[in-house]
Amino acid sequence: MQPAVSIQQLEKTYASGFRALKSVDLDIRRGEIFALLGPNGAGKTTLISIVCGIVTPSGGRVVADGHDIVRDYRAARQKIGLVPQELSTDAFESVWATVRFSRGLYGRPRDDAYLEGLLRDLSLWDKRDSKILALSGGMKRRVLIAKALSHEPTILFLDEPTAGVDVELRHDMWQMVRRLRERGVTVILTTHYIEEAEDMADRIGVINKGELVVVEDKDVLMRRLGRKQLTLALQAPLERIPDELSGLPLELSGDHLSLVYTFDTQTEETGIADLLRRLGTHGIDFRDLNSSESSLEEIFVGLVHGSEGGRR
Ligand SMILES: Nc1ncnc2c1ncn2[C@@H]1O[C@H](COP(=O)(O)OP(=O)(O)OP(=O)(O)O)[C@@H](O)[C@H]1O
């Protein structure tokens, strides 16, 4: 099946000479929720701005729903909805006029029933006659989403959707994203909140300094890169790890009361049986043990550090 968005060798060097994207290749599958994760300045906004036709690429090619975003700009743009970080809309217009106008901009025929449903879904129906100017920040954000969906796009971009958003809106937003996916809409969101990607995404792409460091199914990413830690609560404080055990991935806690053993979830042999036997030989007794998995956050930090030395 043709991908919803196909990005090939995408390059962006700004007029300042800054290279914001370095040969990015990425296919977004139809109907998936894709999270583009990366620290500030990584190139997330640049990437989506190019796909949405706001920023001109310096090289490479992007095809959105079968349309080349440069050669076939209007057709491509009609398929795409963008919820930007900032509101740039006519403050003196009413909510209703704003979404109707927005739909018209993309050449879609008038469909008041669709727009009514959209505003109801976003709890904006009661505010339809209010001027944007008079709305609260959260309500303005909802208007941005309504505008982005006014022309029934098949691909929706959300740029940092929940930065500075209250819990209720965040909840409504995720419900809406799931509903959109059920209808076959592809959703691409950028975020630097790991939990957001962890909660929402089917796949995750990590971008750092203009390079796509990894693209993976969320579950696979967490499994592949996940590490586990086994913490042993000791019976008695241990002054230091015996030399014979120093080759193991073992750390003594600051209070000398627990040992932490780190192992890979991928390997067949965790080495735990061996560890426990050797601890026994050294007379190190423990009263409790528990294991924990690394979070996506730890994986992310590891990836970003790992890419710092150069290309992978
Ligand atoms: N018009 C511009 N001219 C020069 N450099 C720019 C321009 N726009 C962005 N940049 C630089 O490109 C880099 C990537 O910016 P971008 O906004 O794409 O990052 P981001 O990952 O979206 O970060 P954030 O989460 O902070 O929005 C940054 O270092 C930024 O300073």
- DSSP H/E element including 126: none
Atom in ligand 1 nearest the alpha carbon of residue 42: 21
Atom in ligand 1 nearest the alpha carbon of residue 85: 27
Residue nearest to atom 12 of ligand 1 (CA): 20
Dist. CA 45–CA 191, nearest whole Å: 10
Residue nearest to atom 13 of ligand 1 (CA): 41
Tens of pLDDT, residue by residue over 144-197, are: 999 999 999 999 999 988 777 888 888 888 888 888 999 899 999 998 777 778
What separation in Å is there between the alpha carbon of 264 and the centre of ligand 1?
35
What separation in Å is there between the alpha carbon of 210 and the centre of ligand 1?
9
Dist. CA 157–CA 58, nearest whole Å: 21
For the chain, which residues score pLDDT lower than 50?
309-312
Residue nearest to atom 23 of ligand 1 (CA): 41
Atom in ligand 1 nearest the alpha carbon of residue 210: 14
pTM of the model: 0.77
pLDDT at residue 236, rounded to an integer: 93
pLDDT at residue 279, rounded to an integer: 92
Residue 159: DSSP 8-state: E
What separation in Å is there between the alpha carbon of 185 and the centre of ligand 1?
27
Residue nearest to atom 29 of ligand 1 (CA): 41
What separation in Å is there between the alpha carbon of 44 and the centre of ligand 1?
8
Q: From residue 62, give the alpha-carbon distance in Å to each of 44, 57, 59, 127, 214.
A: 15, 9, 10, 38, 19
How many residues would you count in the chain?
Answer: 312
| Pocket perturbation via mutation, ligand 1, pick of 16, 40, 45 by most ligand atoms within 8 A of CB | 45
What separation in Å is there between the alpha carbon of 20 and the centre of ligand 1?
7
**Beta bridge partner(s), residue 175:** none
Pocket, ligand 1, Cβ cutoff 6 A: 14, 16, 18, 20, 38, 40-46, 192
